[in-house]
Amino acid sequence: MNGKRLYETKLRARLEQRAAEIEILSTRAERTDSDLRLAAEDKVTELRARHKLVREKLGALRATRDDSWKDLRIDANAAATALDHALRSVRASM
């Protein structure tokens, strides 16, 4: 497996894990006291938007030729890291 395919596989697995975590937080937000529910749901919506951005970066990376994917990997890593940080923040606040 070449470097590009390996990276795609790892990022896809990371995205699947993050999607599951977002769903757990979404369920937790739904069960939150009504006073805090709106803020919790807003945070989950933001997480979903960040997740979508990483999926889009992965799609762009997958569409590139094997020799030009490394530039897009930097953007994908940055977006994935931002998603991870946002998830940690939301977990801590809920």
Distance from chain centroid for Cα 89: 13
Contacts of 79 (CB under 8 A, 6+ apart): 50, 53, 54, 57
Where are the domains positioned within the chain?
3-93
pLDDT at 55: 97
Q: Is the model's pTM score more than 0.85?
A: yes
Q: Is 74 exposed, middle or buried (CB count within 10 Å of its CB: 0-12, 13-18, 19+)?
A: exposed
Q: For 6-24, write each residue's pLDDT tens digit.
A: 999 999 999 999 999 999 9
Token match 């889009």: residue? 56
Residue with tokens 């994908």, as numbered in its chain:
76
Provide the pLDDT confidence category of residue 1 given band limits of 50, 70 and 90.
Answer: low
pLDDT band for 70, please (50, 70, 90 cuts).
Answer: confident
Question: For 25-62, what is each residue's pLDDT tens digit?
Answer: 999 999 988 878 889 999 999 999 999 999 999 999 99
Write out the two tokens for 33.
Answer: 């006291």
- CB–CB of 90/24 below 8 Å? no
- How much is the pLDDT for 56? 97
